[in-house]
């Protein structure tokens, strides 16, 4: 990948105010999946991640855009194949159809960032007509092979003019973990509104929930790829600015959602469904600027907890490994002073053996390494799966008390 360019902004992405306060500073952070050879360590992309709060509209956001060029064209990551993910997608599609009436039984669904097409398969199974929009050419082919028509490209406000005639007006515009990557979320929201059916159109969006990020101190979710960090309250505000009303924050029950998810459904203000308007449940603290300074301070101390843990565990020659080489592992390590003390980073499906994590330089290995080159303790980054990991790794001779959850360590419980 060519070195991406970073462009800086000077105004709020949502309201245009120039009064922004920085509340988090993570210096020299890499991309979440930019694993490199040991020789290339130091030449990978790194830039500060600064997160700001707009003092006018209280939305959290970065003020830099990273021009990733063809990065997404080659992007092949996909959640396909997980039964939890398939169940989630089925519930989302079925609840959409069951809860919200449409004028035609065969509603039209456009998904932006449709990946391997799995979510659209779920909509198609309920009788919807579907169209995907996806930048990765490989994923487009995967989706097409499943019978999901997909346009290859990065969706921008102009893209609505290139949609086939049948999809110039749609019943649903859906985005899953794509909306918080948009450099200009308002322009996108306006474009989505323009193609939504005015009587019952739905904008359905799944994003990371800032409230949960803060609650769990998951600073690893502050990534270059993300431009905005929303709460239910800031979602309602953003929708309001573009003439949309939020009518649901609970399309998929919490227990069936993927980690750290906020799902909202919005409809044009003039739609028949706007009467279903719901109120955000964001705690009042998020309406106060002081709250954000506290967040920054808490995250700094959570990172110190991690460093203290690693120092403590590796004192007296003990060895420690990380488990889970997804974005959580990479970004958590990248902000730690003590990361190079980890012997390696295990992943069930490592990208390629012989690589190291960006910035921290921790070697990426497969599961076998835990047997051939054992460690005294394992820090589990993919904490949502810790029970499953404990069970699997016990076959290699590890005891339950050798595992530590990232969440516990961040909170100083070790």
Query: Interface with Zn ion by CB under 5 A: which range of 57-65, 144-152, 197-205, 216-224?
Result: 57-65
Q: Of 12 and 320, which has the nearer Cβ to Zn ion? A: 12
Binding marks (x or -) toward Zn ion, 9..28, rule CB under 5 A? ---x-xx-x-----------
Q: Of 18 and 304, which has the nearer Cβ to Zn ion? A: 18
Q: Of 17 and 162, which has the nearer Cβ to Zn ion? A: 17
- Minimal distance, residue 181 CB to Zn ion, in Å: 19
Token pair in block for residue 79 = 């959640």
CA pair distance 100, 273, nearest whole angstrom: 8
Contact, 174 vs 124, CB < 8 A? Answer: no
- Minimal distance, residue 313 CB to Zn ion, in Å: 42
Query: Interface with Zn ion by CB under 5 A: which range of 7-15, 187-195, 227-235, 253-261?
Result: 7-15
CA pair distance 21, 41, nearest whole angstrom: 33
- Minimal distance, residue 12 CB to Zn ion, in Å: 3
Q: Of 97 and 228, which has the nearer Cβ to Zn ion? A: 228
Q: Of 189 and 314, which has the nearer Cβ to Zn ion? A: 189
Minimal CA–CA distance to 182: which of 306, 1, 14, 343?
A: 14
Residue from 9, 33, 41, 56 in contact with Zn ion (CB under 5 A): 56
Strand residue runs (E) in 213-344? 228-229, 244-248, 262-268, 320-323
Angle at which helix 118-125 crosses helix 83-99, to 10 degrees, equals 40
* Helix H or strand E segment including 394: helix 386-394
Residue 48: CB atoms within 10 A of its CB come to 13
Pick left, alpha or beta for residue 354 (phi over 0 → left; psi -120 to 50 → alpha; otherwise beta): left
Residues that contact Zn ion, how many (by CB under 5 A):
7
- Minimal distance, residue 61 CB to Zn ion, in Å: 8
CA pair distance 96, 271, nearest whole angstrom: 16
Q: Does 54 bind Zn ion (CB under 5 A)?
A: yes
Q: Of 56 and 312, which has the nearer Cβ to Zn ion? A: 56
Contacts of 382 by beta carbon, 8 Å cutoff, 6+ apart? 323, 324, 326, 328, 329, 389
CA pair distance 362, 344, nearest whole angstrom: 5
- The single residue listed with the structure tokens 């960032």 is 113
- Minimal distance, residue 275 CB to Zn ion, in Å: 28
- Minimal distance, residue 280 CB to Zn ion, in Å: 16
- Minimal distance, residue 14 CB to Zn ion, in Å: 5
Q: Of 62 and 176, which has the nearer Cβ to Zn ion? A: 62
For the segment 225-284, give every residue that binds Zn ion (CB under 5 A).
none
* Site residues for Zn ion per CB under 5 A: 12, 14-15, 17, 54, 56-57
């Amino acid at each position: 990948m060519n070195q991406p360019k970073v462009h800086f902004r000077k105004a709020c992405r949502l309201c245009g105010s120039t009064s922004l306060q920085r509340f988090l500073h993570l210096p020299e952070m890499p991309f979440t999946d930019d694993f490199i050879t040991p020789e290339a360590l130091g030449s990978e992309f790194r830039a500060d991640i600064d997160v700001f709060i707009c003092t006018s509209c209280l939305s959290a956001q970065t003020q830099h855009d990273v021009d990733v060029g063809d990065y997404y064209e080659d992007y092949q990551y996909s959640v396909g194949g997980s039964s939890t993910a398939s169940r989630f997608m089925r519930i989302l599609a079925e609840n959409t159809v069951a809860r919200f009436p449409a004028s035609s039984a065969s509603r039209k669904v456009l998904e932006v960032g449709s990946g391997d097409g799995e979510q659209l398969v779920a909509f198609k199974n309920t009788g919807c007509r579907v169209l995907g929009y996806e930048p990765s050419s490989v994923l487009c082919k995967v989706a097409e092979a499943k019978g999901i028509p997909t346009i290859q490209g990065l969706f921008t406000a102009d893209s609505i003019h290139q949609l086939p005639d049948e999809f110039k007006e749609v019943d649903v515009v859906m985005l899953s973990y794509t909306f918080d990557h948009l450099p200009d979320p308002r322009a996108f929201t306006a474009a989505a509104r323009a193609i939504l059916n005015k009587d019952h159109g739905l904008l359905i969006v799944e994003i990371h929930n800032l409230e949960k990020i803060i609650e769990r101190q998951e600073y690893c979710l502050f990534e270059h790829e993300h431009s905005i960090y929303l709460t239910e309250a800031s979602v309602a505000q953003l929708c309001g600015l573009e003439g949309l009303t939020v009518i649901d924050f609970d399309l998929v029950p919490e227990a069936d959602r993927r980690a750290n998810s906020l799902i909202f459904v919005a409809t044009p203000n003039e739609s028949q469904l706007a009467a279903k308007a719901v109120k955000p449940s964001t705690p009042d603290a998020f309406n106060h600027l002081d709250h954000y300074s506290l967040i920054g301070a808490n995250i700094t101390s959570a990172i110190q907890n991690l460093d203290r843990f690693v120092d403590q565990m590796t004192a007296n020659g003990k060895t420690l490994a990380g488990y889970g080489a997804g974005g959580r592992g990479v970004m958590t390590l990248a902000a730690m002073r003590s990361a190079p003390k980890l012997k390696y980073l295990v992943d069930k499906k490592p990208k390629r053996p012989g690589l190291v994590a960006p910035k921290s330089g921790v070697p990426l290995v497969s599961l076998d390494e835990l047997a051939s080159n054992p460690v005294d303790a394992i820090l589990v980054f993919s904490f949502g799966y810790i029970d499953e990991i404990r069970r699997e790794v016990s076959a290699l001779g590890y005891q339950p008390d050798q595992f530590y959850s990232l969440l516990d360590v961040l909170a100083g419980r070790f």
